[in-house]
Amino acid sequence: MRTFTNVKDIGDLKVALAEAQEIKQNRYKYETLGHHKTCLLIFFNNSLRTRLSTQKAARNLGMDVIVLDINQGAWKLETERGVVMDGDKSEHLLEAIPVMANYCDVIGVRSFARFESREDDYTEKILNQFIKYSGKPVFSMEAATGHPLQAFADLITIEEYKRKDRPKVVLTWAPHPKALPQAVPNSFADWMNEADVDFVITHPHGYELDPKFVRGAKVEYDQKKAFEGADFIYAKNWACPGVTTPEDYGKVLCKDMSWTVDTEHMSWTNNAYFLHCLPVRRNMIVTDDVIEAPTSLVIPEAANREISATVVLRRLLESL
């Protein structure tokens, strides 16, 4: 595996899940694989879980790790070709990428959607420049339209806690004060569509996710109907994806607090487990009592980020 940006890159999910369990039994099993190999983690945006879990995963495999926060201490980077660089940006990404690639063997990139251009975000302009110009294996640590390390950890968690062979999994939109990218719900849909689950998406009108990720999934606009019989509730906010109204791309169209996941919502389900990628805004997305309930899996879900990253880095190291 030379790149990791979506579910297709990981191949057979049953094999990937078996590898995850193998790593979970002994996370240092491949501790010599990364000897004298360096993992460079580049953050254009903030992070807690990805920053820590991916470093831990690289160290599980015996790698050295370099973390670069582009906006804190590095030169400000221009990303557009043809720009007269007379502003505050001192270096161009087209030089910075091959320079950074000299110092490492594998590169992780976090670069969120900018909401300036739907086309730029949905063609993954920044991530694809790293793939094209670094000459190194590149993996997404959440890009403009996808967060595959998170979705893989989500799937591992569902596999560990499911009470039936084919559980019903519901992705629900929930309110948030700020405009958030669609990376997490897109990737969750991408992975659930490949997994052995009954997958349903629910959101207000106007929040339709890109068909590339929704594919054949059922979309139910009535949140209560969607929740009925659910075994897992995956809550997430996202801003307007601009599918039905391109002019609204990246806007907050709705702050309807009736979509907040509370105990009444959870009572509609089959005693469902609650999932969220974190960070979460309590009492916007989910109430205190739901996130603190024994059925909340947010902490083991976050712990599985180390496992998903270890599996992915192992695959990338094997490609060297």
Binding site for ligand CP (CB under 6 A): 47-50, 142, 150, 277-279
Q: Please report how close the Cβ of residue 190 comes to ligand CP at its closest, in angstroms.
A: 16
Residues 48, 52: Cα–Cα separation, whole Å: 6
Distance CA 29, CA 312 (A): 14
Nearer to ligand CP, 105 or 142 (CB): 142
Cα torsion 138, 143, 144, 149 to 10°: value is: 120
38 contacts 290 by C-beta, under 8 angstroms: no
CB 94, min distance to ligand CP, A: 27
Nearer to ligand CP, 30 or 115 (CB): 115
Q: Using the CB atoms, write b or e for 102-126: b if 16+ within 10 Å.
A: eebbbbbbbbbbebeebebbbebbb
> Which of 48/85 has CB closer to ligand CP?
48
Which among 318, 280, 46, 80 is positioned nearest to 176, based on CA atoms? 280
Three-state DSSP class for 172? strand
**CA end-to-end distance (rounded Å), the chain:** 9
Give the nearer residue to ligand CP in terms of CB position, either 148 or 208: 148
**Whole-angstrom distance, CA of residue 211 vs CA of residue 247:** 17
The smaller minimum CB distance to ligand CP, of residues 18 and 48, is found at 48
Rounded distance, CA 47 to CA 295, Å? 26
109 phi and psi angles, rounded to 5 deg? -130, 130
Distance of closest approach, residue 88 Cβ to ligand CP, in angstroms: 26
Query: What region does 187 belong to: left with phi over 0, alpha with psi -120 to 50, or beta?
Result: alpha
Q: How far is the CB of 164 from ligand CP (least distance, A)?
A: 27
The least distance separating ligand CP from the CB of residue 147, rounded to whole angstroms, comes to 6
Identity of the residue, 30 or 232, whose beta carbon is nearer to ligand CP in the bound complex: 232
Query: What would the two tokens of residue 110 be?
Result: 């976090």
Q: Given the complex with ligand CP, which of 219 and 278 has the nearer CB atom?
A: 278
Parallel, antiparallel or unpaired: strands 91-92 and 218-219:
unpaired
Closest approach, Cβ 110 to ligand CP, in A, equals 8
C-beta closer to ligand CP: residue 47 or 193: 47
CB of 46 to ligand CP, least distance (A): 7
CA-atom Rg of the chain in angstroms: 20
Q: At what angle do helices 298-318 and 13-25 cross, to 10 degrees?
A: 100
Chain length of the chain: 320
Which CB sits closer to ligand CP, 30 or 273? 273
Q: Shortest distance, CB of residue 204 to ligand CP, whole angstroms?
A: 23
Write out the DSSP string of 220-258.
-S-HHHHHTT-SEEEEE------SS-GGGTT------GG
Shortest separation between residue 240's beta carbon and ligand CP, angstroms: 21
